[in-house]
């Protein structure tokens, strides 16, 4: 019988895919939400008899996804679940140049995926599970750029700063609930993902910090998605998870 339920956005690649891979265990139900399905993860789950569902959805249009999540969660019997966890992991750079040189549609997409979707999914998650006896956890994957501005990444900085602050507000709201959800907005450090490839391929005249990311890659200082996922799950399982709402994986 499944006892632990996990929802992961941005689940088709990078840290999201690594989280799903490590969460695929007996007793777990995993829902991945991404623009594309990860067929290899689905094959592994199916061949091992493990419970993985993947929704192919664009979080740039987050309202119908949040509504679907609300309906999906409402179909569970909460009495059989010991924990339920939402990972808001999806995000896009939406930058690499000064804000006035980026298409308005790109800026809008970055804020919808990185901030609006995370807020709406969190709201749906907390609404449906409010009376559940299970341990409830909300882990938002933030960034140091939500706490330290960087030229050429205004939309990403804004999305992550907003994520940090709505996490603080939700934690305050949950503190007075009978079964409060534990909330953490975690900056994971610099990870070797497609986002890093995108940053390294930018024009240094438009993105002054490009060389720093090139050097991090050249010196082998990037965290692998697998290692990041392992550390995130370790923090999630820690008894003090939620004590520091805005946290950093490196400290």
- The domain tally of the chain equals 1
Q: What is the pLDDT of residues 32-86, one digit of tens each?
A: 999 999 999 999 999 999 999 999 999 999 999 999 999 999 999 999 999 999 9
pLDDT, residue 84, reads 98
CATH number, position 50: 3.40.50.720
Classify residue 120: in a domain, yes or no.
yes
Beta strand pairing status for 246-248 and 51-56?
unpaired
Mean pLDDT value of segment 239-245: 98
Indicate whether 210 belongs to any domain.
Answer: no
Please report the pLDDT score of residue 8 as a whole number. 99
Res 107 pLDDT > 80 = yes
Q: Is residue 90 within 8 Å of residue 16, measured between CB atoms?
A: yes
Q: Is residue 201, in this structure, part of any structural domain at all?
A: no
Task: Determine the structural domain holding residue 18 and report its residue range.
Answer: 4-189+225-246
Query: What spatial distance separates the first Cα and last Cα of the chain, rounded to whole Å?
Result: 36
pLDDT at 208: 74
Residue 155: C-alpha distances to residues 18, 216, 237 (Å): 25, 23, 31
């Amino acid at each position: 019988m499944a006892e632990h339920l996990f929802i992961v956005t941005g689940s088709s690649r990078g840290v999201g895919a690594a989280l799903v891979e490590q969460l695929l265990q007996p007793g777990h139900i995993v829902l991945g939400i991404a623009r594309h399905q990860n067929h290899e993860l689905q094959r592994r789950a199916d061949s091992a008899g493990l419970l993985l569902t993947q929704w192919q959805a664009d979080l740039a249009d987050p309202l119908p996804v949040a509504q679907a999540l609300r309906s999906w969660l409402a179909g569970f019997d909460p009495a059989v679940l010991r924990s339920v966890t939402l990972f808001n992991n999806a995000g896009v750079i939406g930058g690499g140049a000064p804000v006035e040189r980026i298409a308005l549609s790109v800026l809008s997409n970055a804020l919808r995926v990185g901030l609006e979707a995370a807020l709406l999914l969190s709201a749906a998650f907390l609404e449906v599970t409010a009376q559940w006896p299970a341990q409830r956890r909300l882990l938002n994957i933030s960034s140091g750029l939500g706490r330290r501005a960087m030229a050429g990444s205004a939309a990403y900085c804004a999305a992550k700063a907003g994520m940090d602050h709505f996490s603080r507000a939700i934690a305050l709201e949950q503190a007075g609930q009978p079964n409060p959800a534990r909330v953490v907005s975690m900056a994971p450090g610099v990870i070797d993902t497609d986002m890093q490839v995108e940053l390294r391929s930018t024009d240094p005249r438009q993105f002054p910090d490009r060389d720093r990311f090139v050097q991090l890659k050249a010196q082998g200082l990037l965290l692998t998605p697998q290692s990041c996922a392992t550390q995130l799950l370790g923090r999630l399982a820690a008894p003090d998870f939620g004590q520091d709402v805005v946290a950093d994986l490196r400290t």
